[in-house]
Amino acid sequence: MQRALSVSRTTGNKSTFPDWYQAIVREADMAELSPVRGSMIIKPWGYGVWERIQQTMDRRIKEMGVDNCYFPLFIPLGFFAKEAEHVDGFAKEMAVVTHHRLKAIDGKLQPDPDAKLEEPLIVRPTSETIIGDAFSRWVKSHRDLPLKINQWANVVRWEMRTRLFLRTSEFLWQEGHTAHADREDALASTQQALEMYREFAETVLALPVVAGEKPENERFPGADNTYSIEAMMQDGKALQAGTSHYLGTSFARAQNIRFQGDSGELEYCHTSSWGTSTRMIGGLIMTHGDDDGLRLPPAVAPRQIVVVPMLRDKPEDAEVLAFGEALVKALNATFALGEPIRALLDTKAQRSAEKRWNWVRRGAPIIVELGPRDVANGMVSFMRRDDLRDGDKVKSQALPKDEFIAKAPALLAAIQQGLFDEAKARLDANIHRDITTWDQLAEYFGTGADEDEDGGGGAFKGWVRAAWSRPTGEGLDAIEARLKTLKLTLRNAPMDQPTTFAPCIFTGEPGVEEIIIGRAY
């Protein structure tokens, strides 16, 4: 049996990994490029994964006492001028609306010169400024604090080089924004969001991550502290899968978000923001995919168990369909991972072998093939997507129908856990702690590093976790430049730190913190 996917990630060809990624996106029917430069169309299976992400994360966001709202897509240009660092960070990549009407001029449709906006509008790249403006109206006294809101929205950051889910001009995300009376409360909220992301990534996406604080040079424009979760992809690179920012009082000062403190004086709020996006779907693919396509953790799979009836245009077909319908109905009335099972009887007019491989490529966790003989014997034959093959042979198991239904919750839980364990073992085995000097770092990453600029290919290197002296300003710039020669970046300083440190890997000075170094998307 050949692999189901047209491109393998493991042939050793250094351009293979990005090709393999694109092949999954295409063959699992997740998304496609649109005729609009830099934008993608998210297809039903890919959007189904996003809906699962939304449902499961939204519950967690609400449990944090955060309310959902909706803020305008357009932000007046002037808003960006208020927070200087922020605009420096975003000004280079924004879509600008300048007209509000089209007109046929010389037979050609074009922006109507009479409908030019007095002030251009920016399509939001993120919403700190416009939400801060609302906060300035909503916050009057300490009784209005903390104020915690979130929105699920589309944002636009112009991109010249697109990669589906990982980097597109328009993407879907959630952005949380909070305002607090003091630094301590705001920082606690920032870290609560980070911890929610970590737990979500590990529990729902089966994506083991390292949660930590970004170094100064990797901070969100205008933030005092930026935290991230970083996941290791199957090419050994890091994917930043979520960020949480403590913004200090800089946005509050720019937007005049003040409250009457105990003293009666007006004080500036401390604010935070945090976000995750459709990029996580790219992380899912690059973590769990194999040479047969995607493997979806059951918690995030739009369909967890797909029943493919083997129909032959014969009288037995009716019995097969009836058996399948009853099976799916019983499964959908059963709970797994805290929710009703999502099972589907695939009755599409297509050959059953073709359907089976489509579901393998899409990564449905359990695929049932139902033939007349199974039905006659009351049996269910199924494949586990996480454990598909024995060598070249596809593995299939059979259980009596009632036993299959009874065992389905445990099977799905085992698949969820198995995918996490596999990725966790890879992560743990590939954070190298034995590289402690610049020379060792340069030697390790200096070989096999000639991958394409877009971040594809190259030998699997993993990450290095080493002590550093946490220099700032020019000292940090110099380190960033040296790392760049090896195509490396500082990812984050993990939240769990030892109490004593080796000397700084960059300078040999006393270390004060351990930091993750790696190549990244």
Compute the least distance from the CB of residue 310 to a copy of itself, in Å. Answer: 18
Q: What residues have CB less than 8 Å from 193, skipping those under 6 apart?
A: 64, 176, 244, 272, 274
Q: What residues have CB less than 8 Å from 270, skipping those under 6 apart?
A: 179, 180, 181, 182, 183, 185, 186, 187, 246, 247, 248, 249, 252
Name beta bridge partners: 150.
68, 176
Interface stretch with a copy of itself, choices 90-98, 174-182, 223-231, 236-244 (CB under 8 A): 90-98
Instruction: With beta carbons less than 8 A apart as the criterion, state whether 96 and 122 touch.
Output: yes
Based on the shown chain and the rule CB under 8 A, indicate whether residue 512 belongs to the binding site for a copy of itself.
no
- Number of residues engaging a copy of itself in binding (CB under 8 A): 62
Based on the shown chain and the rule CB under 8 A, indicate whether residue 387 belongs to the binding site for a copy of itself.
no
Compute the least distance from the CB of residue 312 to a copy of itself, in Å. Answer: 18
Q: How far apart are CA 44 and CA 67, in angstroms?
A: 28
Q: What residues have CB less than 8 Å from 253, skipping those under 6 apart?
A: 268
What values do phi and psi take at 109, rounded to 5?
Answer: -70, 125
Helix or strand holding residue 327 (H, E):
helix 316-332
Based on the shown chain and the rule CB under 8 A, indicate whether residue 162 belongs to the binding site for a copy of itself.
no
- Report helix, strand or coil for 203: helix
Based on the shown chain and the rule CB under 8 A, indicate whether residue 59 belongs to the binding site for a copy of itself.
no
Interface stretch with a copy of itself, choices 3-11, 28-36, 232-240, 458-466 (CB under 8 A): 28-36
- Contact track, a copy of itself, 91-130, x by CB under 8 A: xxxxxxxxxxxxxx----xxx--------xxxx------x
Q: What residues have CB less than 8 Å from 417, skipping those under 6 apart?
A: 206
Cα four-point dihedral sign 256, 190, 92, 100:
negative
Compute the least distance from the CB of residue 147 to a copy of itself, in Å. Answer: 10
Residue selected from 47, 173, 444, 501 as contacting a copy of itself according to rule CB under 8 A = 47
Cis omega (within 30 of 0) on the bond before 372?
A: no
Residue selected from 64, 76, 195, 460 as contacting a copy of itself according to rule CB under 8 A = 76
Residue selected from 42, 229, 284, 343 as contacting a copy of itself according to rule CB under 8 A = 42
Q: How far apart are CA 195 and CA 191, in angstroms?
A: 6
Which among 339, 325, 358, 345 is positioned nearest to 416, based on CA atoms?
A: 339
Nearer to a copy of itself, 57 or 517 (CB): 57
Residue selected from 133, 369, 374, 514 as contacting a copy of itself according to rule CB under 8 A = 133
- Report helix, strand or coil for 235: coil
- Sheet harboring 366-370: ordered strands across? 343-345, 305-309, 366-370, 379-384, 397-400
Nearer to a copy of itself, 93 or 421 (CB): 93
What values do phi and psi take at 28, rounded to 5?
Answer: -85, 0
Based on the shown chain and the rule CB under 8 A, indicate whether residue 495 belongs to the binding site for a copy of itself.
no
Nearer to a copy of itself, 88 or 403 (CB): 88
**Torsion angle of the four alpha carbons 125, 128, 131, 133, in this order, in degrees rounded to the nearest 10:** -120
Compute the least distance from the CB of residue 325 to a copy of itself, in Å. Answer: 16
Nearer to a copy of itself, 102 or 398 (CB): 102
Nearer to a copy of itself, 127 or 226 (CB): 127
Site for a copy of itself in 328-367 (CB under 8 A): 349-350
Site for a copy of itself in 403-432 (CB under 8 A): none
Nearer to a copy of itself, 57 or 156 (CB): 156
Nearer to a copy of itself, 41 or 318 (CB): 41
Nearer to a copy of itself, 67 or 184 (CB): 67
Compute the least distance from the CB of residue 156 to a copy of itself, in Å. Answer: 7
Nearer to a copy of itself, 31 or 331 (CB): 31
Nearer to a copy of itself, 160 or 481 (CB): 160
Compute the least distance from the CB of residue 292 to a copy of itself, in Å. Answer: 23
Q: How far apart are CA 3 and CA 26, in angstroms?
A: 16
Token digits for 208? 């083991």
Binding site for a copy of itself (CB under 8 A): 32, 34-36, 39-44, 47-48, 50-51, 67-77, 80-81, 87, 91-104, 109-111, 120-123, 130, 133-134, 143, 149, 153-154, 156, 158, 170, 172, 349-350
